[in-house]
């Protein structure tokens, strides 16, 4: 009955969804100074909660770290030194250009508002941004430039679901999500790809839920190599919708296969460090060869073993699905796929979209027994 009512409500709620996210930007960069310029709209400048000026279109300010404070300078005057600066958009549409001066970086564009302070001798910059604009920015960063509208639609729903499921990830640090791969890559506003704007707007508020109406962990990766893996194999927690899927769509794509060479001596030392009784083995180097026609969990020699997941991390390999042959004094690793292989395979999904599968087909192929719903419906049903 609950599921029935739930789907009835899908048609009742429409476009109610509006939420801002606090995203820490430049989270992997030690920013010391930057220029902020209004591209569209106007910004009120609040310094330590006092309104000191309004920044009109095409006007700029320079923001410089000074110890644990901030110097604020315009073209013709210094406003002063402050602890906090808030830049709040006051027009219908507001977006700005941010050009890091120290270190010197390519300029980026961001929608909506900014909250700026200094933490540990570096700027702490929050972009307080409408979720749909954030999603479009993430899709541009994560989804490539020419992937087609059906794929962007799929990626928009996934990125929105991921963001909403992870809102508390950095909450103790004063923001929701960082802009790095740790959360989702977000390098600012989607400016140039109209397909992404359409895909995001058309799916506004749509998210993926499991059969208990909870947001799913919308994991994705570049290429699974032909088979995705269950979440329990990578993160230990079992999710009913993150199960192994045989995927032929991603074969023969850019990240389908890889190779790497490792010196045999280095490999022996590594195994020894991890408890393998290497000195007891025979002199036949083929003992280190390894076959993985289907995904396995461990690399084993006699009763010694190590997880493939750990080898992947320690050697920075593209995936944990690889075989080993011995060539001269080296190991030749031949691998399949790129990434943790849990959830949606991006290159497979791109191929499905090219073959005219819908975003619903694609999402249901990689996330089993899930539904695509509007977040407003979900909030209504989950309210006490
Ligand atoms: Zn993060
Ligand atoms: Zn795949």
Question: For 205, which DSSP code?
Answer: T
* pLDDT for 15: 43
* pLDDT for 25: 98
Residue 306 located in a structural domain: yes
Query: 17 CA distance to ligand 1 centroid (A)?
Result: 24
Query: 126 CA distance to ligand 1 centroid (A)?
Result: 13
Query: 225 CA distance to ligand 2 centroid (A)?
Result: 5
From the CA of 344, which ligand is nearest?
2
Query: 23 CA distance to ligand 1 centroid (A)?
Result: 9
Domain end: 316, 336, 356, which one? 336
Question: For 253, which DSSP code?
Answer: S
Query: 307 CA distance to ligand 2 centroid (A)?
Result: 22
Query: 219 CA distance to ligand 2 centroid (A)?
Result: 13
Query: 321 CA distance to ligand 2 centroid (A)?
Result: 12
The residues, ordered by sequence, that sit 6+ positions from 276 with a Cβ below 8 Å of its Cβ are: 301, 304, 306
* pLDDT for 18: 59
Query: 139 CA distance to ligand 2 centroid (A)?
Result: 19
The dihedral built from the CA positions of residue 28, 34, 40 and 41, taken in this order, carries a sign that is positive
Residue 147 located in a structural domain: no
Query: 222 CA distance to ligand 2 centroid (A)?
Result: 8
- Number of structural domains in the chain: 2
From the CA of 167, which ligand is nearest?
1
Question: For 104, which DSSP code?
Answer: T
Q: Residue 115: beta bridge partners?
A: 86, 126
Domain end: 336, 356, 377, which one? 336
Query: 117 CA distance to ligand 2 centroid (A)?
Result: 42
From the CA of 251, which ligand is nearest?
2
The residues, ordered by sequence, that sit 6+ positions from 262 with a Cβ below 8 Å of its Cβ are: 315, 330, 331, 333
Query: 164 CA distance to ligand 1 centroid (A)?
Result: 13
Helix axes 359-366, 149-165, angle to 10 degrees: 50
From the CA of 342, which ligand is nearest?
2
Q: Specify the 3-state DSSP secondary structure of 345.
A: strand
From the CA of 173, which ligand is nearest?
1
Sort strands 95-102 and 85-89 into parallel, antiparallel or unpaired.
unpaired
From the CA of 179, which ligand is nearest?
1
* pLDDT for 377: 82
* pLDDT for 381: 66
CA distance 143 to 375: 22
Residue 196 located in a structural domain: no
pLDDT below 50 — which residues of the chain?
1-16
Sort strands 177-178 and 122-130 into parallel, antiparallel or unpaired.
unpaired
CA distance 374 to 363: 15
pLDDT digits (tens, 9 = 90+) for 96-110: 999 999 999 999 999
Query: H-helix or E-strand containing 351?
Result: helix 346-354
Residue 104 located in a structural domain: yes
From the CA of 225, which ligand is nearest?
2
Domain that holds residue 26: 20-130
Q: CB within 5 A of ion ligand 2: which residues? A: 224, 247, 250, 345, 348
Note whether 30 and 74 are within 8 A (CB).
Answer: no
Note whether 364 and 241 are within 8 A (CB).
Answer: no
* pLDDT for 10: 41
Note whether 61 and 36 are within 8 A (CB).
Answer: yes
Task: Count other C-beta atoms under 10 Å from residue 213's C-beta.
Answer: 15
pLDDT digits (tens, 9 = 90+) for 186-221: 999 998 899 999 999 999 999 999 999 999 999 999
Q: Residue 373: beta bridge partners?
A: 207
Query: 29 CA distance to ligand 2 centroid (A)?
Result: 32
* pLDDT for 384: 61
pTM of this structure: 0.87
Note whether 333 and 323 are within 8 A (CB).
Answer: yes
* pLDDT for 14: 41
Note whether 240 and 368 are within 8 A (CB).
Answer: yes
From the CA of 256, which ligand is nearest?
2
Residue 46 located in a structural domain: yes
Residue 374 located in a structural domain: no
Three-state SS string over 35-100 comes to: EEEEEECCEEEEECCEEEEEECCCCEEEEEEECCEEEEECCCCEEEEECCEEEEECCCCCEEEEEE
Query: 217 CA distance to ligand 1 centroid (A)?
Result: 15
Residue 375 located in a structural domain: no
* pLDDT for 340: 93
Residue 342 located in a structural domain: no
Note whether 298 and 375 are within 8 A (CB).
Answer: no
Note whether 221 and 338 are within 8 A (CB).
Answer: yes
């Amino acid at each position: 009955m609950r599921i029935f009512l739930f789907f009835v409500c899908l048609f009742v709620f429409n476009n109610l969804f509006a939420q801002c996210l606090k995203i820490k930007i430049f989270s992997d960069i030690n920013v010391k100074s930057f220029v902020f310029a209004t591209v569209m709209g106007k910004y009120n400048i609040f310094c330590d909660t006092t309104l000191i000026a309004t920044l009109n279109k095409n006007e700029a300010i320079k923001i410089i770290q000074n110890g644990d404070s901030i110097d604020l300078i315009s073209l013709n005057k210094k406003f002063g030194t402050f602890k906090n600066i808030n830049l709040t958009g006051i027009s219908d549409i507001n977006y700005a250009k941010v050009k890091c001066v120290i270190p010197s970086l390519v300029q980026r564009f961001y929608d909506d508002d900014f909250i700026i302070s200094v933490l540990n001798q570096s700027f702490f910059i929050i972009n307080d941004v409408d979720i749909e604009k954030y999603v479009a920015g993430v899709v541009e960063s994560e989804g490539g430039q020419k992937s087609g509208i059906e794929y962007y639609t799929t990626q928009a729903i996934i990125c929105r679901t991921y963001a909403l499921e992870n809102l508390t990830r950095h909450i103790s640090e004063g923001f929701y999500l960082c802009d790095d791969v740790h959360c989702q890559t977000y390098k600012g506003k989607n400016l140039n790809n109209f397909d992404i704007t359409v895909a995001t707007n058309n799916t506004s508020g749509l998210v993926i839920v499991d059969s208990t109406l909870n947001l799913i962990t919308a994991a994705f990766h570049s290429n699974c190599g032909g088979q995705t893996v269950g979440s329990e194999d990578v993160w230990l927690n079992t999710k009913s919708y993150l199960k192994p899927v045989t995927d032929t769509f991603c074969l023969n794509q850019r990240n389908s296969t890889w190779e790497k060479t490792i010196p045999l001596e280095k490999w022996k030392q590594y195994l020894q460090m991890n408890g393998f009784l290497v000195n007891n083995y025979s002199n036949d180097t083929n003992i280190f060869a390894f076959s993985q026609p289907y995904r396995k969990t461990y690399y084993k020699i006699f009763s010694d073993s190590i997880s493939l997941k750990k080898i992947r991390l320690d050697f920075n390999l593209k995936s944990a699905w690889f075989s080993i042959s011995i060539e001269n004094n080296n190991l030749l690793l031949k691998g399949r796929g790129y990434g943790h292989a849990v959830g949606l395979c991006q290159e497979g999904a791109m191929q499905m979209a090219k073959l005219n599968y819908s975003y619903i087909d694609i999402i249901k192929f990689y996330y089993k027994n899930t539904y695509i719903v509007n977040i407003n419906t979900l909030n209504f049903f989950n309210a006490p």
